[in-house]
Structure 1
Amino acid sequence: MQAEPARPAERCPAISPDTTRLRTVPTSEPPGLRCVGQVDFATHDAWQSALDELPVAPDIHLELSELTFIDTHGTLILVEATNQSAEGRRVVLHNPPVTLVRILELFWPSLPTIEVDRA
């Protein structure tokens, strides 16, 4: 039995941001965003940009029923964006993924700027 010759190592493709994995659509009534897809390493910059563009309003609403995943760093980006907003401003998360709720409960259990609406 003859051994097969060794194959050259396959090169790992470079990681590039894939903004198609996260889509955000501004909403006017209520003011905020509808988010579709995933917030992960590849989409952190797009997520940050979307949150930076949120309208100035007393309450911001994020419709997250179509957000399939968010990692801890994506949650941190959200928390930092809400903490930098105007005094008394509240961000309401509508139908967030379970992972987001768990991360918030674990690392930021009493944030007055974020409200979770699971209705």
Structure 2
Amino acid sequence: MSPLPGRSGICACGEISEVTRGSWEEALSGLARQHSGVSYVELSDVSFVDVAGVTALAVTAMGLTEGRVVVQHPPPQLPRVLEMFWPDLPQIEVVRR
């Protein structure tokens, strides 16, 4: 996990799973603290996100008082899980690969 240069957001790489969940949730907490309007989550270098990782993202987005989180280039399972459990979550915008 690392901050995105030049804009509000984070960049992740590898897999988001039980092994990396602590880092993921910590990065999302930091994103929420610094959020103002639009925050970005760049996932083009992420090969897998488990359901708990998607849940952490959804819970973070739902906790924002304003704006949205733009998830860029996620692995295919992330949009599917969002559509299955949070089909009408306006706080998340997904920009597919």
- Normalised by the length of structure 2, the TM-score is 0.91
Report whether the alignment pairs 1:103 with 2:85: no
Deviation at 1:58, TM superposition (A): 0.5
- For structure 1, the residue ranges without an aligned partner over 5 or more in a row are 1-23
Work out the CA distance in 2 between the residues paired with 1:56 and 1:31. 7
Of 63, 82, 86, 2:61 maps to 82
Letter in 2 for 1:91: V
Number of residues of Structure 1 aligned to a counterpart in Structure 2: 95
- For structure 2, the residue ranges without an aligned partner over 5 or more in a row are none
Equivalent residue number for residue 35 of structure 2: 56
Q: Deviations over 1:16-47 (max 9, x none)?
A: xxxxxxxx110242210111111111111111
Deviation at 1:49, TM superposition (A): 0.4
Work out the CA distance in 2 between the residues paired with 1:118 and 1:76. 18
Letter in 2 for 1:67: V
Work out the CA distance in 2 between the residues paired with 1:80 and 1:90. 12
**Alignment RMSD, CA only?**
1.2
Work out the CA distance in 2 between the residues paired with 1:57 and 1:28. 16
The sequence identity of aligned pairs, in percent, is 35
Work out the CA distance in 2 between the residues paired with 1:56 and 1:118. 22
Kindly name which structure, 1 or 2, has the bigger radius of gyration based on alpha carbons.
1
Letter in 1 for 2:26: S
What SS is found at the alignment partner of 2:4?
strand
Q: Deviations over 1:63-91 (max 9, x none)?
A: 110011100011101111111112x2200
Report whether the alignment pairs 1:46 with 2:23: yes
Compare relative contact order (CA 8 Å, sep 6+) and give the higher one, 1 or 2.
Answer: 2
